[in-house]
Amino acid sequence: MPIGVAFAATSGSAMILELTRRVAGLALVVITGVLLVYTVTAIIPAILYFVSIYFMVDFEAAKLGMRGMREDELPKFREMARKVFLFLPIVILIAALFMGYSVIRAGTLATVAIYLIQRVFQPKPDAAIPVRGAD
């Protein structure tokens, strides 16, 4: 199973799971008046669902002979830490929403941040992008 299929299965089903979970949980809170029931009904199905997706992808990968990356193939922490600024648009989006900006304005601010980061940190046109396994 390609990773795209697993991603589509988890994200699409998560939206349906979220709605079902909220409706069922709120119905139980209204009927019983106990908020703990809502919390348990929200957490248990979500955990079971995502654990089952994890094992489905893991078993399929084992069947196809796929393996994890070796230690020398993993990116170095120092290289990744230098690119932490790439999370700035997400931080701006979340901060703007918490500060009370509208969704449109928060999205616009994050989009402007993405554009500015791309313009400032754009790789040089002559810089070769290394491709793993192209030796």
Domain ranges of the chain: 3-63, 72-120
CA 61 to chain centre: 20
| 9-13 contact pairs (CB < 8 A, 24+) | 9/53, 10/50, 10/53, 13/49, 13/53
Residue 92 has what pLDDT? 95
pLDDT of residue 95: 94
Per-residue pLDDT of the chain (135 residues; tens, 9 = 90+): 555 556 666 666 666 666 666 676 667 667 776 666 666 666 777 788 788 888 988 888 888 888 888 888 888 888 888 888 889 999 999 999 999 999 999 999 999 999 999 888 776 665 556 666 555
